[in-house]
Amino acid sequence: MTGNGKLVQVLAGGLESDEPSAADGIAIIGMSGRFPGAPSVEALWSLVERGGNSFRSFSPTEIEDAFTDEERAGADYVASRPYLSDVEMFDAEFFGMFPREAAVTDPQHRVFLEICWEALEGAGYDPYRRSEMVGVFAGCSMPTYLLNNVLGDRTKVEEFTSNYQIGCFNQIVGSITDALATRVAYKFNLRGPAFTIHSACSTSLLAVSQACQNLLTYSCDMALAGGVSVTIPQKRGYIYQEGGMVSRDGICRPFDAGASGTVFASGAGVVLLKRLDDALRDRDRIYAVIRGYGVNNDGSDKVGFTAPSAEGQAEAISVALANAGIEPNTIGYVECHGTATPLGDPIEFAGLQLAFSSIAEKRGRCALGSLKGNVGHMDAAAGVGGLIKAALALHYAKIPAMANYAEPNPRIYLNDSAFYIPTSTSAWPDASAPRRAGVSSFGVGGTNVHVVLEEAPPPQPVAASHVEGPFILPLSARTEDALTAVRHNLAAHLRANSKIVLPLVARTLQTGRHAFKHRTAVVASTTAEAIDLLSADRMNISQAEDVAPPVVFMFPGQGSQYVGMGAELYRREPEFARWIDRGAEVLKMSYSIDVRDYICHTGQVTETMAQEQRETRIAQPCLYLVEHAMARLWMNRGLMPTAMIGHSVGEFVAATIANAISFEDALRLVATRGRLMQKQLPGAMVSVRCDPETAQRHLRGSAEIAAINAPKLCVISGPFEDIDAVCAALEKAGIAFSRLHTSHAFHSAMMEPCIDDLREQAAKVTYGTATVPYISCVTGGWQTDEAGSSPDYWARHCREAVRFADGLVTLCSEQKPVLLEVGPGRTLSTFAAQTISRGGAAAIVQSMPEHDRANAAAVILAEAHGRLWASGCELAWPPLPIAAERVVPLPTYPFQRQRHWIDAPTPRRRGARARRGATPNTPTQPTRRDSNDQRRESLPHYKSYSGTGGCTHHAPRRHVGRGTRCRQQDEHVPRARLRF
């Protein structure tokens, strides 16, 4: 706060100060709330913008209070109170609470937990993934749920009070106001300051001021600040008293001639705050900026403890202006406390005139408003509700209408002031200075708070960037039902906001939402496509574990390659292209061939090119290079394999990624291997649908088993005539088979002639120790350092049978991994699905398309990324275009609420009155109820003093004695009588 010298300057009508720096202040980057008739901040603005209100009268069957039938039938009974629907409902599972724990927890705590989560999520922050210190500053009303429901009879009250602080711990923690802020900090793992504040009606705006102070002193980096008031029973009436605080007709009319008092209501609100320079740096969505705040207390210079003071309010406003370093003439709107009491409003207006005395001659310069005209007086949540309304007014650049206003209170002289009261919502005019607003909140007891708001600075321009689709939209929830609601809500939001930028939707979902266990992902290039996919009847849902699953890279062998298999990724993915270029240059120098002509080919594929690609001399180096580049792409996104398996030539990629063989050495060895194998005599291979034992019985001549790909899927290799004999035997036995399109009999004795030359080439390689375990496809077990560095092993590799199925069993015998096929097609994924029992793998994922879907490479990659994330893998999201704002508003978590509630007992007061058979006549003198009832009836002339009541003709003044005297009424009014 500023010193008294600056305050004196302001009160004197002048402040010599520069405009605040653009980076000064506290940014409001998130907000959430529950308001009567408006279950969200967006719904509240809609209500405010149209000048609507949430006041209504209860029918006799709705009322839950303990007034007797006679009292309800009285002319002064008003059956009205704006309330929150479904406060008995709560998503206990989401917040990690047992049903009984949820049932004894005060609904104020439960509602506040929900809106705090929504404020964080709406701003795009997952508290569990952030390192910032986040503080919580909040307050609530008296825990009447504890009194009315949890402690429903005298025995429970006595047990509770006797055990207080030692026993009855659930009720204590679930209901005491002290735990409001700390419960949020505990549930969301927030490590900044967390404390609960109480100052009656100014509680939540005081919480905001304390949050600002903690941010400015770097006690925290972000702060949740707000309040909640849900008093039970909600559906209750009240007894109107002439000159008292509450409204005669159940409607709140701030500053209006017809105002007769306020109407108390339930409500909750919270804002997420951040230092403005940090918010600008992080490209947060900023609704408004808090430039200054003032806090004080009236002291004793007023008519009574609960009475307001124009001077005290004026000082708080002036301090806030001084703290902000701005002139009063730059304020275009003030969100007033505005309780609509006949004397409270004139006192507040007088305070405004004092604070804005320097611009008194500027008629109609500043608009006044009060949220209480829309939703009533939300007690501890009133201040933050007004702050949210004012912030939205700045955000949308509109001056909101004052609800229920027709003409000014006769003690408010608008025509002689700088203020006016709008009766309809209008555009906020442009001005040379930024739009600014003030927000006031004044508490019983005299704690005054005023906050100065300013419109958000325009988003900082960023260099234009473009990223092609498709885009990954990850979705998650705690339950499948909630996940269904998540996608349906998002689909509805996209329909209603057709111009929304899909990449920013993707960014918001990827970086601004917590990843829960039940997950799915949608991959789309357009909003319309996303809507269709989100609206599908069914979607694949994965359930991630608390610990990320192990990831196994599977590298396919020869036969999966095709012309243009890497073209799309080469064009779109720099990391993929980097490794393709690096390998292509190595091969170009050694073998005078540019494999990019095959890997990156686009357009029509000629038969000659297709035939060349099938040749082993071309196929193997191309396949190795594409698989290695694909592996590096995944690793560049943070996906590191815990183990690997390669099918035939794919094992060379595994050895390279494991650092057992260098990239250049392995590439040259594979290229030499392909050329030597190409030179061998032609042969044939056939895939057989049977187990190895059955296949063995049908072998003929020199034919042999070349691969065991699955428990009932083998490959037989050998000379043409022997394979023909095998096929005839298989056909006779009724065993399904299919000939493979290969030119040679790989992994058979027909490869023996090239082994010596391969051994010579393999001996030139410098081997290292594997840093990632991988499977030997020769043994089907884990590769050893001895075999992995043996030239003889790599020389005979093309001769020995591939035991891929055995390798998969080894991989999954002691773990449940994600099996990721790193290469073109889905051949190995098919083998894995046939080998590993259902549930034996966390997921089986394809990275690249088959030959007939080559143009879908980007979609397949994005879908693979989404499936990996849905399976629980931790990896970085692909780059998205940079925008001025990091996130866009999207639907927040759809809480799956269930009833967690302790019903209140039947009111004894009503029952006792009925048993006595009392008449509805009102007694003329105060009487005491019998001892069982423990209540006292008050008569109309015992005024319920709230500081704005008492004399209806003049503002209260300071006095000594027991009452105030009205010169027109000349009656002595007892002070501070409370109604029991």
Q: What residues are labeled active site? A: 201, 337, 377, 648
| Pairing status of strand 713-718 against strand 704-710 | antiparallel
Q: Which 3 state secondary structure label does DSSP give 255?
A: coil
Output DSSP code: residue 148: I
Q: Which of 552, 553, 555 is nearest to 812 (CA)?
A: 552
- Residue 894: CB atoms within 10 Å: 18
CA-to-CA distance for 780 and 802, rounded, in angstroms?
A: 8
Query: 332 near 438, Cβ under 8 Å?
Result: no
Token look-up 């006799």 returns: 60
Helix (H) or strand (E) holding 369: strand 366-369
CA-to-CA distance for 907 and 912, rounded, in angstroms?
A: 9
Q: How many angstroms separate the most distant Cα atoms in the chain?
A: 126
The percent of the chain in helix, strand and coil, each rounded to the nearest 5, is: 40, 15, 45
Q: What angle do CA 618, 619, 622 make, to 5 degrees?
A: 85
Which residues, other chains included, contact 741 with Cβ-Cβ below 8 Å and sequence gap of 6+?
559, 614
| Pairing status of strand 89-90 against strand 26-34 | unpaired
Which residues, other chains included, contact 561 with Cβ-Cβ below 8 Å and sequence gap of 6+?
613, 614, 619, 622, 623, 626, 824
Residue spans of beta strands (DSSP E) within 784-940:
818-821, 843-846, 898-899, 927-928, 936-937
For residue 352, give both structure tokens: 């405004």
CA-to-CA distance for 824 and 846, rounded, in angstroms?
A: 8
3-state secondary structure 283-310: CCCCCEEEEEEEEEECCCCCCCCCCCCH
Written as one string, the DSSP assignment of 803-819 is -HHHHHHHHHSS---EE
Q: Which of 346, 490, 322, 329 is nearest to 412 (CA)?
A: 346
Q: Which 3 state secondary structure label does DSSP give 337?
A: coil
CA-to-CA distance for 599 and 622, rounded, in angstroms?
A: 7
Termini Cα distance of the chain: 40
Q: Which of 329, 335, 254 is nearest to 288 (CA)?
A: 335
Output DSSP code: residue 796: H
Q: Which 3 state secondary structure label does DSSP give 654?
A: helix
Residues in the chain: 980
Query: 585 near 593, Cβ under 8 Å?
Result: no
Query: 488 near 475, Cβ under 8 Å?
Result: no
Output DSSP code: residue 150: I
Give whole-number Cα distances, 662 to 220, 355, 656, 764, in Å.
48, 77, 6, 12
CA-to-CA distance for 978 and 415, rounded, in angstroms?
A: 38
Provide the residue type at 959 as one letter.
H
For residue 734, give both structure tokens: 């009724």
